Amino acid sequence: MERDGSPESPPREGSSMPGERPSSDLGQALSQILHHLTRQESRRGRARNAALQDLSALLEAAECDQLFEGSDTWLGGVPGMLGKVTAALEKYAAPPKEEEGRGDGSSTVAEKAAAVGLLFIKLLRKVESAKKPPVRLAWKRGLRHLAGPIYMFAITHSVQQPWTRPGSRDVAREVLTLLLHVAECGSVAGFLHGENEDERGRFAEIMGLLQPHLNKESWKNNPATKHVFSWTLQQVTRPWLNQHLERVLPPSLLISDDYQTENKVLGVHCLHHIVLNVPAADLLQYNRAQVLYHALFNHLYTPEHHLIQAVLLCLLDLFPVLEKGLHWKGGAARPTTHCDEVLQLILTHMEPEHRVLLRRTYARNLPAFVKRLGILTVRHLKRLERVILGYLEVYDGPEEEARLKILETLKLLMQYTWPRVSCRLVVLLKALLKLICDVARDSSLTPEPVKSALLEEATDCLLLLDHCSQGQVKGLLAKIPQSCEDSKVVECVRKVQQVSEGAPYSGT
């Protein structure tokens, strides 16, 4: 092996790293390779490149029975040493800290990853060959030491990231495919939680490898760690995830509590996955659900639409868990809920909000909150009315997402709180007619299907309003067809009159 000229020389033949006793010449050669991969001298690059070449040659020349023998000897024998080399290779190919990236650092990482990936493919081919006689029983022993680091390498480099390139991604995907094939797993999920109920998966092992890098001091040392954790977590679903709740909840909260919006969103996605796939009883234990709620609620003060969207979706799935033990016994007023608290804050933010993306995000989720509260939405009726009237007046761009969602919200609101609607008849009728006229005369780039959807939704709201007011809308609209020259407006009014004169509207 090529020396790098440093004062510290690699172990001589017959020696080993301190505290290690290679059980064979092969183990000794692996020990020397491990030494060169993990040394810290400034001229380590040449030595590491030579170590990769030596390992490649070693894997080509070694027999399967040599690679996977001796697991009962000191430190696992050759398989144990091979596992250490694999972990060192995974670390060697890992991306550096973000602040350490310089110039073409990303392309350098991709080159390293491609070289390491080819070595992992050779190694997995050896494991696959070990399934054949006479070493058929040894392959599981070998894979036990190799699977974790190889999996982490594959997930780190298989998707598009700043440190990957098309070539390195292709190699990493091939490594992952071969790993699943050798492990006899049909999917990554099966690899992690086990293909059968009585089979133990490798999720605990992967989390054990990630755990030292997921604390407050170290989780940003490797920019890939958060992505490997998030991606791995989302492969494990019910009923397996609750067994690992103590391991996955703290890192998810840690990532979501970061100052960078990207990390906040990633952490919230992890928390949402936990909420969806862990039983309510486990989330309520030790007050975990309340901890989740407060962590998510604090994000609602951040003016980032991507984060708000992720938080609101997560909260909507968390509410049933938080309110699981609440039962109204009649007599007294129903207690306010977490959903009431969140809706109150959302409406507070919606009224003065002028940023289009945030307006769309709030409007997109408003119908779900009205559905969740049902008739209890009456508590927020005055503020909802102000928000609805304000949002119906403002053009929302070609897609008109905000106004369409606000119309959907208004329909739900009238269905749930219809006894309180008649006293708001004039205000709502004016707003809907103004919207219909504005859309009918709109000469902007709004597509015709969007205009048609707005007119249809507004007409449905007029029908509901007429039904809630015992037919008063019909009388107020009676003279419009004679005085209005716009065919689209007249068409909407006639639809309301025709339905009112016929069978009762069944929208409520």
| DSSP conformation letters of 424-443 | GHHHHHHHHHHHHHHHHT--
Degrees, nearest 5: CA angle 253-257-261: 125
Q: Which amino acid is at 452?
A: S
pLDDT for res 135: 53
Which stretches of 130-165 are DSSP H helices? Answer: 139-158
Per-10-residue mean pLDDT, the chain, length 508: 40 41 66 78 62 82 67 58 88 78 68 92 85 63 86 94 93 95 91 80 93 90 93 94 95 95 97 97 94 96 96 97 72 81 96 94 97 94 95 91 96 94 92 91 85 93 91 82 76 80 48
pLDDT for res 443: 78
Give the Cα separation of 115 and 286 in Å (integer). 47
What crossing angle do the helices spanning 261-277 and 288-299 adopt, rounded to 10°?
150
Give the Cα separation of 84 and 90 in Å (integer). 10
Residue that the structure tokens 């974790």 belong to: 148
Query: Residue ranges per domain, the chain?
Result: 1-96+105-183
Q: Which amino acid is at 372?
A: R
Backbone angle region of 236, left / alpha / beta, with phi > 0 → left and psi within -120 to 50 → alpha: beta
Backbone angle region of 24, left / alpha / beta, with phi > 0 → left and psi within -120 to 50 → alpha: beta
In 3D space, the residue among 250, 268, 261, 263 whose CA is nearest the CA of residue 313 turns out to be 268
Query: Is residue 363 classed exposed, middle or buried when 0-12, 13-18 and 19+ CB atoms within 10 A define those classes?
Result: buried
pLDDT for res 73: 45
**This prediction's pTM:** 0.87
